[in-house]
Amino acid sequence: MKKLFIVANWKMNGSKKSNEQLINYINEKIYENPNIEVIICPPFTYLTQITKLKTKSIKMGAQNISESQNGAFTGEISGSILQDMSVDYVIIGHSERRQMYNDTNAVIAQKFESAHQNNLIPILCVGESLNERKTGKTLSVVESQIKSVIESTRIELFTKSIIAYEPVWAIGTGETASPEQAEEVHSNIRSIIEEYDSNIATSIPILYGGSVNGANCKDLFKMNNINGGLIGGASLNEEEFVEIYQKAERLINE
């Protein structure tokens, strides 16, 4: 039976009031299940609030990490601070950070290393733009994004890491990759990792992200090489997010 990961990326959204409502609702509907990992990634400032509100069936994630360890880096948050705040996971290389904050492959590799140095599990995001898909570059773009991290760090670090395939054209657009389109890239990601280590290639969770919702998640999660979803917009809607969780639960029990 495969394990599914349901990761909520709240991005720069929320308020103390709306967070409380959302987490209370999720707490009521989500049960501890060894085959489903629910991870909430709120803005940094709400980490403490969510940690206090959540039940233990929910894990905490951050949306970013500094590539530096500590010191004079105004406005940054280090891996050791995240660890101190009881964070378990961290999203690295989200396309919004690659595009808007100059997170290059080199910086992403440093952040990936820093996550591991602080016992955080990185969720490494990769994915092509619309133009790259249209010009047949999807697989080569994803390959270079993954290989640049492997070659700047070590393949062993991927034993305790997650990859999220997020086609840029599907993020926040309402347009989802078809299960077959996603599966093609996911299985290709396993082949890339297999060049380095076949055990890691089989075991690493690979999530799909890009307009996942209650209606389309089941067909995506059913695919052999898809181990759950990284969910943006739909994670801010309590009913939609719980519907995704419940569909995952049904799939696990089928």
**How many Cβ atoms are within 10 Å of 234's Cβ, its own excluded?**
20
Three-state secondary structure call for residue 225: coil
Please state the separation of Cα 63 from the chain's center in Å: 9
Active site residue 94: yes
- Report the helix count and the strand count for the chain, using DSSP H and E: 11, 8
User: In terms of C-beta density within 10 A (0-12 exposed, 13-18 middle, 19 or more buried), how is residue 13 classed?
Assistant: middle
Query: Residues 158, 160, 161, CA angle at the centre, nearest 5°?
Result: 60
In the block, residue with structure tokens 């495969």: 2
Residue in the shown chain whose Cβ atom is closest to ligand PEP: 232
Q: Closest CB to ligand PEP among 77 and 171?
A: 171
* 126 touches 146 (CB < 8 A): yes
Tell me, what amino acid is at 157?
L
| Structure tokens, 165 | 């395939």
Instruction: Tell me how far, at minimum, the Cβ of 166 lies from ligand PEP, in Å.
Output: 5
Q: Which of 37, 166, 183, 249 is catalytic?
A: 166
Q: Closest CB to ligand PEP among 11 and 200?
A: 11
Active site residue 113: no
> Which residues would be at the binding site for ligand PEP (CB under 6 A)?
9, 11, 94, 166, 171-172, 209-212, 230-234
Q: Closest CB to ligand PEP among 228 and 233?
A: 233
Instruction: Tell me how far, at minimum, the Cβ of 111 lies from ligand PEP, in Å.
Output: 16
Q: Closest CB to ligand PEP among 171 and 201?
A: 171
| Structure tokens, 170 | 């599907």
- Which residues are tagged catalytic? 94, 166
